[in-house]
Amino acid sequence: MSSSASGDRPTGRVTGAQAVLMSLEALGVEVVFGYPGGAILPAYDPMLDSSIKHVLVRHEQGAVHMAEGYAHATGRVGVCIVTSGPAATNIVTGLADAHMDSVPLLAITGQVATTAIGSDAFQEADVTGITMPVTKHNELVGTVERIAAALKEAHHIASSGRPGPVLVDIPKDILNATVEWRWPEHMELPGYRPTVRGHGKMVREAVELIGRSQRPVIYAGGGLVRAGAAEELFELATLLEVPVVTTLMARGVFPDTHELFVGMPGMHGHYAAVKAFQETDLLITLGARFDDRVTGDLGSFAPHARVIHVDIDPAEIGKNRVVDVPIVGDAKVVTGQLVRAASDKLDLVKPDTTAWRAHLTELKAEHPLRVEQPETGVIKPQTAIRAIHEVFGDEAVYVAGVGQHQMWAAQHIPYSRPRQWINSGGLGTMGFAVPAAIGAKAGLPDTPVVCIDGDGCFQMTFQEIAAAVQADLPVVFCVVNNGYLGMVRQWQSLFYDDRLSEVALPQDLPDLVKLADAYGIPGFRATTMDELGPVLRKAQEVTGQPVIVDLRVDPDEMVFPMVPAGASNDEVLESAEEWYARARAIDLPGDGVPAE
């Protein structure tokens, strides 16, 4: 090789491994999350000379979730790099997670040498085969000449259209082979051409439909976040005075504090938002996909609504719900088109939503989230979440795990900007939060990143705290410690007559303050209301290193509102009392076992 992989672009012959690093540099990658091993070893040598930072994880699942967290937080492609076989299979969960939530991700895996493929060689796994259904695309690189093009295409596919994970599997002999370095100018992807601009006629039809509506509501989904469309959304909503509902994946894309904000829809959504969907006559669906956790029983979802559906993925349109005006295109571009089309003839197409908005405002006021917090003693988990927000404020990014704490964090923090809320929505991956928060911090070094995790989730991936310490990524890890797999316990309470089966996690196993100590970082615990505020403030004052906060909360609390799985959204229940009253009324054992 004629020069180092970093800085001045070498022109001579380089190894495949060097080509990998040089390609990543050419793509503007600043950090990769990874773990070395046999087949990928050649790539770890030129890494020493590269400008790209490497975060050494403790388990490959950590690497892929960190890459996701980075992508969620920055909008840029997250990159992880691991070896073959068991390392590659360890990232499958994260790939599936990124696939479900449309997270732009590039995964590079080492593979056994070309000559050994198919021979059940040491640490061989059919990684492109295994990951085919959970990636947007993948490729087993066949020649060293192909490396740069494969990575450039993978990066492009991951970040364009409907974003998603793309995996590039590179055999070891190809990493060791040499090639004349050349960064390809073009990509040859004849079968890949996402539609970006919405069809003009459809846009006009959509605007006319809005004009004829009386109770329109914007169903804002994660696609708006991916597209960076918060501004356009704000313009559209305020221009036409249409109320906005933000899904779990879209929290923050429209400010919660705005008067047009209604809430989050779905199984654990805000009452007013769930009702808004049931009563609306027009769903303006932007980058959302009628997920079953939003719709409940599809047949009775939004029964009076006509539907405008904007999505960059044509397959989402008409998949779950019949659509009146389909618009394929990028959520930012199309929402902008809608704004312009509406501004052109505002007096004709602006619906009078005065009564409708007043009605929703009233619903919001009459049906707030319910928290019964005694002033002293036990901390209600909802109070813990609100206190976290009070201390860390609007400036922080919040990353949640999966379970009750996730729903409370989605409900009780007033989000004000996109990418302020990061979670695993589609796959519901426990263990996501710790590494995702670390990845987010790597992308946003100047922003406070607060991980709000469950005690169950935390124990799935907390080994990555070592990576955070070592790579100097000071995340605040708050554990909403209820001593249970709370969400599962809630289902057992409601659907299985309170027969709790394998859901108890002793609150001090492990002792999280001692755990912090073991990692050489500060750890705090709050057990009662008077400790909550001071402990969080102490955690906030820690600078330059991660910190663990053990928040011992009331184990008996349940998440409400709740629409039972598979039930109609008309059946939104606001409290446990209401739940049990309903169960008694229809004389079911504790419930109605969910229809799924």
Binding footprint of other proteins on the chain (CB under 8 A): 128-129, 132-133, 136-137, 140, 142, 156-157, 186-193, 313-315, 318-319
Listed in sequence order, the residues at least 6 apart from 363 whose beta carbon sits closer than 8 Å to its beta carbon are 271, 272, 275, 276
Closer CB to ligand TPP, 404 or 569, in the complex: 404
Q: What are phi and psi of 337, to 5 degrees?
A: -60, -40
CA distance 301 to 245: 15
Q: How far is CA 495 from CA 136, 182, 477, 484, 592, in A?
A: 36, 61, 32, 17, 6
Please, are residues 311 and 287 in contact by the beta-carbon 8 Å criterion?
yes
Q: How far is CA 220 from CA 32, 205, 209, 317, 436, in A?
A: 31, 19, 18, 15, 23
Instruction: Give the residue among 386, 352, 356, 351 at the shortest CA–CA distance from 368.
Output: 386
Answer yes or no whether residue 221 interacts with ligand TPP by CB under 6 A. Answer: no
Answer yes or no whether residue 482 interacts with Mg ion by CB under 5 A. Answer: yes
Q: Is 123 a catalytic residue?
A: yes
| Minimum distance of ligand TPP from residue 85's CB (angstroms) | 22
Q: Is 122 a catalytic residue?
A: yes
Task: Find out whether the peptide bond into 510 is cis, omega within 30 degrees of 0.
Answer: yes
Please, are residues 250 and 220 in contact by the beta-carbon 8 Å criterion?
yes
Report the run of H or E that residue 169 belongs to, with start and end.
Answer: strand 165-171
| Minimum distance of ligand TPP from residue 275's CB (angstroms) | 26
Closer CB to other proteins, 77 or 567, in the complex: 77
Closer CB to Mg ion, 482 or 540, in the complex: 482
Please, are residues 325 and 309 in contact by the beta-carbon 8 Å criterion?
yes
Binding-site partner at residue 429 among other proteins, Mg ion, ligand TPP, none, CB < 5 to 8 Å by type: ligand TPP
| Minimum distance of other proteins from residue 147's CB (angstroms) | 16
* Residue 502 burial (10 A CB sphere; 0-12, 13-18, 19+): exposed
Q: Is 261 a catalytic residue?
A: no
Catalytic residue among 1, 30, 123, 241: 123
Catalytic residue among 22, 264, 487, 529: 487
Q: Is 60 a catalytic residue?
A: yes
Closer CB to other proteins, 193 or 499, in the complex: 193
Binding-site partner at residue 104 among Mg ion, other proteins, ligand TPP, none, CB < 5 to 8 Å by type: none
Answer yes or no whether residue 246 interacts with ligand TPP by CB under 6 A. Answer: no
Answer yes or no whether residue 480 interacts with ligand TPP by CB under 6 A. Answer: yes
Answer yes or no whether residue 487 interacts with ligand TPP by CB under 6 A. Answer: yes
Answer yes or no whether residue 90 interacts with ligand TPP by CB under 6 A. Answer: no
CA atoms within 13 A on the CB side of 13: 6
Binding to ligand TPP, residues 403-422 (CB under 6 A): 403-405
Answer yes or no whether residue 455 interacts with Mg ion by CB under 5 A. Answer: yes
Q: Is 319 a catalytic residue?
A: no
Closer CB to Mg ion, 69 or 486, in the complex: 486
Helices (H), 262-400: 271-279, 292-295, 331-344, 346-349, 354-366, 381-392
Note the residues at the interface with ligand TPP (CB under 6 A).
401-405, 428-431, 454-457, 480, 482, 484-488
Q: List residues with catalytic annotation.
A: 60, 122-123, 172, 487
